[in-house]
Amino acid sequence: MSLDKPYLDVPGTTIFDAEQSRRGYHLNQFCMSLMKAANRARFKSDERAYLDEWPMSEEQKQAVLARDLNHCIALGGNIYFLAKIGATDGKSFQQMAGSMTGMTEAEYRDMMVRGGRSIEGNRFVGEDGDAQAHRQPQGAGGGRDRG
Amino acid sequence: MARITASVYTSHVPAIGAAIDLGKTAEPYWAPLFAGYEPSKRWMGQHVPDVIFLVYNDHATAFSLDLIPTFAIGTAAQFAPADEGWGPRPVPMVIGHPELASHIAHSVIQDDFDLTIVNRMEVDHGLTVPLNLLCGTPAAWPCPVIPFAVNVVQYPVPSGRRCFSLGQAIRRAVESYDAPLNVQIWGTGGMSHQLQGPRAGLINRAFDTAFLDRLIEDPAGLATVPHIDYVREAGSEGIELVMWLIARGAMADVAGGAKPRVVHRFYHVPASNTAVGHLILEDN
């Protein structure tokens, strides 16, 4: 009998469960290593060489190099771990979260100041809210943040 | 005997810590949020306990994917603020209470909750931001703190019901401690927020308001809300709210006593990506 995963029909959302954790183990542990200042310096001086020290998939490494956080999450990354990359780059959680929506930093910040993203239309896959797949990317940011 | 006198609930957003550390609390973006905690700081100044039992979650700081304890109690003499990637926050060392912490561990494990005992651990913004919000920025925290970390990073996290029962066991443990300590229990995290994917930035004021109402009036009913309701309605990181049920479960009315008094209630959107909720309940 398979496990009950009632969260698969929540739009625009990946739940970091045991399966994702297994898939992303080395990716997330690489992120964890960036909590040491010496490792942050080595990573920044040659990102590719630093990544090659970890038994990550090539796709995971490319997603990190591109700072494509949605792709990192699809490959098993977790935001609290990926945040270490953001910290290394001098990015806030708001900048990182915003980068996953397709909005520019200003667009995302303005949405939050207006009260945040509405839940309406964003509870179940197949509704018409702004987090649904058919409405991506959401702004003028292009869905990436490499700045 | 020791007794629990009050419970405190608050969000623990890292950007709040950054605003404090960088001297931005008077800026227009942050001023309304910090104003909401002014009554709390005054209350705290008049009600410094002997120990704070502080429920929070570690954000991939002390615990990587090498070790994922569902419930971890800090029994060390002190806990250093962690370097979360920006360097350690400039906040005081957190002084523990090893005697009470190990007493609670012993009692709660005998009460069928399988705690992980941690004798060395650094603490992140999840623990230090609530201390700042209630205590300001003193040279030393006003009392010892027992860190109690809950896994809300990797799903499945403990259920609301499990957390609520654990709070009741913590109350029994505190009341069986043979010294007249005044203990506060704090539940932190939440409220609605999502930090990932195209749904990042989700805020659900109606859910949060109902959560606060029910936390006060109907905590046992609130404890039956399943995980999926938090994820769907309050965002993937909104699930941190189950930690508030640990603190609520430790209040007197759950053990057959009188209802707590609402000292202060506050709600504000946004702090970075997050809806900030705050509540102080005092036992009579």
Predicted pLDDT at A93? 85
Predicted pLDDT at A147? 36
A2 — pLDDT class (breaks 50, 70, 90): confident
Does residue A23 belong to any structural domain of this protein? yes
Whether residue A81 sits in one domain with residue A36 = yes
A1 — pLDDT class (breaks 50, 70, 90): low
Give me the domain span that covers residue A134. 101-141
Whether residue A69 sits in one domain with residue A45 = yes
Predicted pLDDT at A145? 44
Give B53 to chain A, closest Cα distance, Å.
24
Q: How many CB pairs under 8 A join A and B?
A: 167
- For tokens 């909590």, the residue is A35
Does residue A96 belong to any structural domain of this protein? no
Whether residue A43 sits in one domain with residue A73 = yes
Q: What average pLDDT does the segment B156-173 reach?
A: 98
Chain CA centroid to CA A122, Å? 19
Give B204 to chain A, closest Cα distance, Å.
6
Segment A73-132, tens digit of pLDDT: 999 999 999 999 999 999 988 899 999 999 999 999 999 999 999 999 999 999 999 999
Does residue A9 belong to any structural domain of this protein? no
Does residue A132 belong to any structural domain of this protein? yes
Q: How many domains does chain A have?
A: 2
Whether residue A106 sits in one domain with residue A84 = no
Does residue A110 belong to any structural domain of this protein? yes
The mean predicted confidence, pLDDT, of chain B is 97
Segment A12-67, tens digit of pLDDT: 999 999 999 999 999 999 999 999 999 999 999 999 999 999 999 999 999 999 99
A143 — pLDDT class (breaks 50, 70, 90): low
Predicted pLDDT at A140? 86
- CB-count exposure of residue B92 (10 Å: 0-12, 13-18, 19+): middle
Whether residue A56 sits in one domain with residue A25 = yes
Residues of A in contact with B272 (CB under 8 A): 92-94, 112
SS3 state at A133: helix
Does residue A7 belong to any structural domain of this protein? no
What is the Cα Rg of chain A in Å?
16
Whether residue A84 sits in one domain with residue A21 = yes
- List Cβ<8 Å contacts ≥24 apart for B112-116: B112/B169, B113/B71, B113/B165, B113/B166, B113/B169, B114/B70, B114/B71, B115/B71, B115/B72, B115/B73, B116/B69, B116/B70, B116/B71, B116/B72, B116/B73
- For tokens 């010294």, the residue is B179
SS3 state at A57: coil
In the predicted structure, residue A146 carries a pLDDT above the cut 50:
no
ipTM value > 0.85: yes
Predicted pLDDT at B201? 97
Q: Which residue of chain A has the CA closest to B13?
A: A93
Q: Which residue of chain B has the CA closest to A9?
A: B232
Segment B175-194, tens digit of pLDDT: 999 999 999 999 999 999 99
Domains with residue ranges and CATH for chain B: 3-267 (3.40.830.10)
Amino acid at A17: D
In the predicted structure, residue B102 carries a pLDDT above the cut 70:
yes
Residues of B in contact with A28 (CB under 8 A): 60, 64-65
Give A26 to chain B, closest Cα distance, Å.
9
* Residue B245 contacts residue B162 (beta carbons within 8 Å): no
Whether residue A73 sits in one domain with residue A19 = yes
* Residue B194 contacts residue B237 (beta carbons within 8 Å): yes
Give the one of A18, A84, A100 whose C-beta lies nearest to B197's C-beta: A100
**A83, B204: Cβ pair inside 8 Å?**
no
Does residue A94 belong to any structural domain of this protein? no
Q: Whole-model pTM?
A: 0.96
Whether residue A37 sits in one domain with residue A73 = yes
Residues of A in contact with B15 (CB under 8 A): 92-94
Q: Which residue of chain B has the CA closest to A79?
A: B196
**A115, B203: Cβ pair inside 8 Å?**
yes
Segment B228-276, tens digit of pLDDT: 999 999 999 999 999 999 999 999 999 999 999 999 999 999 999 999 9
**A122, B203: Cβ pair inside 8 Å?**
no
Q: Which residues of B are catalytic?
A: 125, 193
Whether residue A124 sits in one domain with residue A85 = no
Chain CA centroid to CA B143, Å? 16
A3 — pLDDT class (breaks 50, 70, 90): confident
CATH code, domain carrying A46: 1.10.700.10
Does residue A32 belong to any structural domain of this protein? yes
**A97, B82: Cβ pair inside 8 Å?**
no
Whether residue A82 sits in one domain with residue A18 = yes
Whether residue A32 sits in one domain with residue A57 = yes
Residues of A in contact with B65 (CB under 8 A): 21, 25, 28-29, 32, 81
